[in-house]
Structure 1
Amino acid sequence: MAHRLRPVGLDFVAAAPVRQVCVREISAPVGAVYRALEDVPGWVEWFPQVTAARPVDEGAGRDIRLQGGVRFRESVIAAQEPEVYAYRVDVTNAPGVRAIVEEWRLTPAGTAGTGTRVRWTFATDGTAAYRLAMKLIRAAQAKAFRDAVTALERRLTA
């Protein structure tokens, strides 16, 4: 059963009771990485857990399906090319969750600044059981991030 989450803003990234930050440097340029984040249908090509992705509301939102049947209806809350792309989950079928924001921050990296430092923050809140579950899956989320960014790098530099 889908339920509506608390409508939080970008400030929730710093204030959330449960946060996970993952960072990875890749050789693809910042602009290309940003465009890949904005290309919602393209996520299925490089983020293995995403099984379907489509923009809604003329690009202001996203419908996302993950492996295991989890669904999200999201609102894009920051699209500041080429540095920040963030979205909030508005509706989900995941139990126990009250709020989620995911923020992608991109900065130039590498010796000549031609690569990208990708910083992903997953900020969330929910019931006590949900918060515990999120802490237990931290390693799996970090691996999913690493795998996705590695696949994105391969896609953008091929």
Structure 2
Amino acid sequence: MFRRLRSVELDFVESAPLRLVFAAEVSAPPQEVYRALADDVAGWPSWFTSVTAARPTRAGTGREVRLKGGTVLRETILATEPGQRYAYRVDESNAPGPRALLEEWRLTPAGTGTRVRWTFAADGSALFRFALRLGRSGVGRAFRDAVRMLDGRLTGPTA
């Protein structure tokens, strides 16, 4: 059963009761990283192993993302700034606990590559917030692994 989450805007990335922020550098330039995030939504499962399927919806203004374990997220894209920022909020999910979710990917030049900063902004039940805090290191590891795989995909021999 899908539940509707609270509709938050971009400022939630700073005001959320729980914020997980992770950063990593990649050798691919910001424009290429942005294209992989925003333009190749269906390609996410090839580098973010927590994602089993992803597809654009509503003529590209939304996304539907399926995660390992069966969680489904229906999202609205809030920011598309090529080479700089990509952000979306979760409107509906079958996961218990969340009340509001927003993710923001910030890209900044780092030499010839890119510094990727991912913010996972959330609100939810006490148990949901506790579980996210407890799982912070695992979420961070998943982010670092995903960014490393994305960089290999973008800069590897077949890129």
TM-score, normalised to structure 2, is 0.96
Aligned to 1:79: 80
- Aligned counterparts, 1:78-157, within 5 A: 78-109=79-110, 113-157=111-155
Structure 1 letter corresponding to 2:148: T
The number of equivalent residue pairs is 155
Structure 2 spans left out of the alignment, 5+ residues: none
Deviation at 1:82, TM superposition (A): 1.3
C-alpha distance in 2, partners of 1:10/1:31?
Answer: 21
Distance 2:126 2:152 in 1: 38
- Aligned-residue sequence identity (percent) comes to 59
CA contact (8 A) 1:97 1:127 kept: yes
Aligned to 1:65: 66
TM superposition shift of 1:14: 0.1
Separation in structure 2 between the aligned mates of residue 124 and residue 106 of structure 1, nearest angstrom: 21
| Displaced runs of 4 or more, over 2 A | none
String of CA shifts for 1:86-126, please: whole Å, max 9, x gaps.
Answer: 000000011011000000000000xxx21000000000000
Give the Cα separation in 2 of the matches to 1:55 and 1:64: 9
For residues 50-95 of structure 1, the C-alpha deviation after alignment (integer angstroms, 9 at most, x for no partner) is 0000000011000000000010000000001110000000000110
Match of 1:6 in 2: 6
Separation in structure 1 between the aligned mates of residue 81 and residue 138 of structure 2, nearest angstrom: 28
Unmatched runs of 5 consecutive residues or more in structure 1 = none
- Residue 13 of structure 1: how far off its partner (Å): 0.2
Contact conserved, 1:16 with 1:123, CA < 8 A, in 2? yes
Code of the aligned partner of 2:33: V
What is the root-mean-square deviation of aligned Cα atoms in Å? 0.5
TM-score normalised according to structure 1 size: 0.97
C-alpha separation in 1, matches of 2:31 and 2:97: 36
